[in-house]
Structure 1
Amino acid sequence: MQIKARAKINWALNVLGSRTDGYHHLDMLNQRLTLADDVFLSPAHAIELEVRGNKDVPDNHSNLAWQAASMLKRRFDVSEGVNIRLHKRIPPGAGLAGGSADAAAVLLGLNRLWGLGLALHELREFGKGLGADIPYCLAGGFARVGGIGEIITPLTNAPELRLVLIKPRGALSTRIVFECYNGLATTEPADIPGLNQALSLGAYKELYVYARNQLQPAAVSLCPEVHEAIRDLQANGAVFAQMTGSGSLVYGVFEDDGMAQMAYQKLSLCWHTCLLTRTAGA
């Protein structure tokens, strides 16, 4: 069985407050990308995990894909195992929810492979216990996402745009980025209704008016290359550039496929990780 595990970006990320369990209440506008890992599932006697394409991704129980399989196996007392083979294309530690997307794909696949018969809302509830991005990765699409990531409101008129992605070397710890955010002055939040309207109307040059990632200043203070990546995307024709998630990856929006291709070819010479992709309509 093969499943696509798609990356996501945040068009908006507002931090509404912290919780006693260490999570934060968020208000986000998320969209899937065509960039995806391939997840292959096949019957086995135990849980087995193979990772190809990125040596920095663990192939043991610390991987969310392994944890997702282990959780379902224990919860439903499943006797058989599964071989999970991940072909990684989504950079880890980037804010693209690559690990969560892999875990969501495993939950969806094992629900079928093991005949568990779980509804999507049940899979989301199980996924929430593993990672805050997993409920959205199970739902996908273009959506407003609230709570710690479990409240998902699908939206229509998803924009389909060409993006260039840049990831500085090294990963940013989500926990440390939030700790740094807590010590900084609060930035102006994103106007999500205005942002949604601008995206729907194709008013991409107005995105700077409405879009915000409130974690971006904290990430820049920890990794100045985030700002450099934004600057390089803007200098090469991006009509909008912003960090996704808790970083460190930055995306640039291009109205013209040719401009995106030229920017990608130039920037891939300067940055260790540079990717060309699109937003996905569903």
Structure 2
Amino acid sequence: MSLALPEAEAPVRAADLAARAKINLALHVVGRRADGYHLLDSLVAFAEIGDRLALEPAAGEADELELDGPFAAAVPAGADNLVLRALAAAREVASQAHLDLPAARIRLIKRLPPASGIGGGSADAAALLAHVAAWHPALRAPLRQAGLRLGADVPMCFDGVPARVFGIGEAGKPVAVLPAAPTVLVNCGTPVSTPDVFRRLARRDHPPLPPLPVRGFPDVGALATWLAPTRNDLEAAAVELVPAIAEGVADLCEAGALFARMSGSGATVFGLFADDETSARAARDLAERHPGWWVAQTRLSSLS
């Protein structure tokens, strides 16, 4: 028998949710499962910039989705949208606990470019699932597991903390300390197909990341030093598909980044800077040099 919760206890209530951009600071491909999924060892952080979800109870019995923001036209508005899929998954998990998840009206503000290696859709789905989990902590584990069925990035976005991530993305160990490093994100505007990138890999058995510092990273300089010998094993394959990725990395370095690299499977690249003034100047310079590119000044979230 289902239990319809009163509005004050309903798992989906009026809320304004942040879906922060995910950044793979380092990403090593260390193996491949029998089912074809690649095994990763990745240092993941989150930026302060991201999409936003505004939730409120729906007027009727059906879920509603409104898309807004600069990249609204680039994402599906129907049942294929990851937020609606996450809501359906959350409703299934809730029903198994004999809870009714009421219909919701969702306004999704898309500020992150799609198919760009910074987890936009995954972060949106994870924000919805985490919101439900916040009201019903007993559902947290099954909601996180449901997220994995939506995409390998969803569990790490669900956790939302800097972490070293293993497996296909479902396992993670939080980082003790991560600096709120000034960061510039750059995307040339060309979507990158993750399956196409993985198909182009020359090898899939790279060594894992080196050990993380026990006390974490006290400042951006320490983080950049640790990142220097690491890799993104997807970058070379992505550059073959979109050469402008390499241009973005070079431009960030030229603009004063302490470290720059592609995130995920691309095409977004990030640069870490010593201070906000330098990162702001770099963002202005890159936006002027590439008027058709997406350039965003932000900071790494220090939440852990």
TM over 0.5: yes
The equivalent position to 2:281 in structure 1, one of 255, 262, 265, is: 262
- After TM superposition, the structure 1 stretch with the greater mean CA deviation from structure 2, 188-197 or 69-78, is 188-197
Partner-residue secondary structure (3-state), 1:159: coil
Cα displacement (A) at 1:136: 0.7
Q: Is the 8 A contact 1:164 1:264 kept in 2?
A: yes
**Which runs of structure 2 are paired with 1:195-274 in the superposition (5 Å)?**
199-200=217-218, 202-204=221-223, 206-207=225-226, 209-271=228-290, 272-274=293-295
Note closer, same or farther for the CA distance 1:51–1:195 as it changes in structure 2 (3 Å cut): farther
Amino acid in structure 2 at the alignment position of 1:247: G
Cα displacement (A) at 1:131: 0.8
Is 1:126 matched with 2:157? no
Amino acid in structure 2 at the alignment position of 1:108: A
- After TM superposition, the structure 1 stretch with the greater mean CA deviation from structure 2, 251-260 or 12-21, is 12-21
The equivalent position to 1:97 in structure 2, one of 119, 131, 150, is: 119
How many pairs align? 278
Note closer, same or farther for the CA distance 1:49–1:233 as it changes in structure 2 (3 Å cut): same
Is 1:278 matched with 2:294? no
* Unaligned stretches of 5+ residues in structure 1: none
Amino acid in structure 1 at the alignment position of 2:89: M
Report the counterpart of residue 17 of structure 2 in structure 1.
3
Partner-residue secondary structure (3-state), 2:211: helix
Q: Is the 8 A contact 1:204 1:239 kept in 2?
A: no
The equivalent position to 2:68 in structure 1, one of 26, 48, 52, is: 52
Report the counterpart of residue 35 of structure 1 in structure 2.
49
* Unaligned stretches of 5+ residues in structure 2: 1-14
Amino acid in structure 2 at the alignment position of 1:59: A
Cα displacement (A) at 1:156: 0.8
Cα displacement (A) at 1:89: 1.4
Is 1:110 matched with 2:132? yes
The equivalent position to 1:152 in structure 2, one of 172, 181, 206, is: 172
Cα displacement (A) at 1:154: 1.0
Note closer, same or farther for the CA distance 1:145–1:281 as it changes in structure 2 (3 Å cut): same
Amino acid in structure 1 at the alignment position of 2:289: C
Partner-residue secondary structure (3-state), 1:107: helix
CA distance in 1, matches of 2:52, 2:161: 18
Moved over 4 A (4+): 185-190, 194-198
Q: Is the 8 A contact 2:32 2:204 kept in 1?
A: no
Q: Is the 8 A contact 1:207 1:240 kept in 2?
A: no
Partner-residue secondary structure (3-state), 2:76: coil
State the TM-score, normalizing by the size of structure 1.
0.91
CA distance in 1, matches of 2:118, 2:21: 5
Note closer, same or farther for the CA distance 1:196–1:234 as it changes in structure 2 (3 Å cut): farther
Note closer, same or farther for the CA distance 1:198–1:281 as it changes in structure 2 (3 Å cut): closer
Note closer, same or farther for the CA distance 1:62–1:204 as it changes in structure 2 (3 Å cut): same
Q: Is the 8 A contact 1:189 1:212 kept in 2?
A: no
CA distance in 1, matches of 2:209, 2:18: 31
Q: Is the 8 A contact 1:12 1:30 kept in 2?
A: yes
Note closer, same or farther for the CA distance 1:268–1:80 as it changes in structure 2 (3 Å cut): same
Partner-residue secondary structure (3-state), 2:78: coil
Give % identity.
Answer: 38
Cα displacement (A) at 1:135: 0.8
The equivalent position to 1:62 in structure 2, one of 42, 56, 80, is: 80
Cα displacement (A) at 1:162: 0.5
Cα displacement (A) at 1:2: 1.2
Amino acid in structure 2 at the alignment position of 1:276: Q
Q: Deviations over 1:58-113 (max 9, x none)?
A: 2112211110111222444436311111111122111111111110111122346x
Structure 1 vs Structure 2 CA RMSD? 2.2
Note closer, same or farther for the CA distance 1:209–1:109 as it changes in structure 2 (3 Å cut): closer
Amino acid in structure 1 at the alignment position of 2:149: G
Partner-residue secondary structure (3-state), 1:118: helix
CA distance in 2, matches of 1:219, 1:189: 20
Partner-residue secondary structure (3-state), 1:156: coil
CA distance in 1, matches of 2:232, 2:101: 44
Amino acid in structure 2 at the alignment position of 1:248: A
